[in-house]
Amino acid sequence: MAGKRERKAPEVNAGSMADIAFLLLIFFLVTTTIVVDKGVLVKLPPWSNEPPPEMKLNSRNVYSVLVNANNELLVRGEPKAIKDLRADTKEFIMNPSKKENMAEKPTKAIISLKNDRGTAYKTYLEVYNELKAAYNELRDEEARKRHGKPFEFLDRALQKEIRADIPLVISEAEPTNFGEEN
């Protein structure tokens, strides 16, 4: 070194480092999923001060689900586990074997959900989710049968048609007040 002409030490080209960092920055910007809010969509019935009109419902069309303060399920008068609820609801709505005690047809089926003020929200949502899942699965099956495609890939009009044939009717009654609230 000393004898030779003065030369700079060889430098590693750091110019492209910026590009690499930019690449990383963009990669993170693109892949970062800002927590998307998801949830079970529900449409509440409008409020009215008048008591709901008395409706004569054929009891065979009503699927009553009761959840008590101990988070136990009573479905049409019989205890049931949540994991069986979906299949049971589906059978009730479609009534494939035309039983006397199940819905005449899907459009007449009504799900009646009643809980207690002491019911855990977790259980409530689980039950609601199962009931909704039963309907969604039925619509999907119907879509595949009619059009050979899953429900979500159908056109709006066709979706509407199936929705009209299998309408989601979950009626929620005023909760009972036996259990302890936290």
Residue 132 has phi, psi (to 5 degrees) of -65, -40
Q: Which residue has the tokens 């039925």?
A: 138
Q: How many residues does the chain have?
A: 182
- Regarding 173 and contact with another protein (CB under 8 A), the answer is no
32: phi > 0 → left, psi -120 to 50 → alpha, else beta; which?
beta
Q: Which residues sit opposite 157 in a β-bridge? A: none
Compute the least distance from the CB of residue 74 to another protein, in Å. Answer: 16
Q: Which of 1, 4, 15, 30 lies at the binding interface for another protein (CB under 8 A)?
A: 15
- Regarding 182 and contact with another protein (CB under 8 A), the answer is yes
- Regarding 152 and contact with another protein (CB under 8 A), the answer is no
Q: Which residues sit opposite 176 in a β-bridge? A: 116
Q: Which of 61, 66, 73, 118 lies at the binding interface for another protein (CB under 8 A)?
A: 118
- Regarding 30 and contact with another protein (CB under 8 A), the answer is no
Q: Which of 4, 83, 98, 122 lies at the binding interface for another protein (CB under 8 A)?
A: 122
**CA 73/CA 19 separation, integer angstroms:** 60
Q: Which is nearer to another protein, 161 or 172 (CB)?
A: 172
Compute the least distance from the CB of residue 154 to another protein, in Å. Answer: 17
Q: Which residue has the tokens 């039963």?
A: 134
Sheet holding 78-80, edge to edge: 78-80, 73-75, 62-67, 110-115, 170-172
- Regarding 47 and contact with another protein (CB under 8 A), the answer is yes
CA angle in degrees (0–180, nearest 5) for 181-172-131: 100
Q: Which is nearer to another protein, 12 or 97 (CB)?
A: 12
> How many residues bind to another protein according to rule CB under 8 A?
49
Compute the least distance from the CB of residue 166 to another protein, in Å. Answer: 15
Contacts of 163 (CB under 8 A, 6+ apart): 139
List of residues contacting another protein (CB under 8 A): 8, 14-15, 17-18, 20-22, 24-25, 28, 34-47, 69, 115-122, 124-126, 128-129, 132-133, 136, 174-175, 177, 179-182
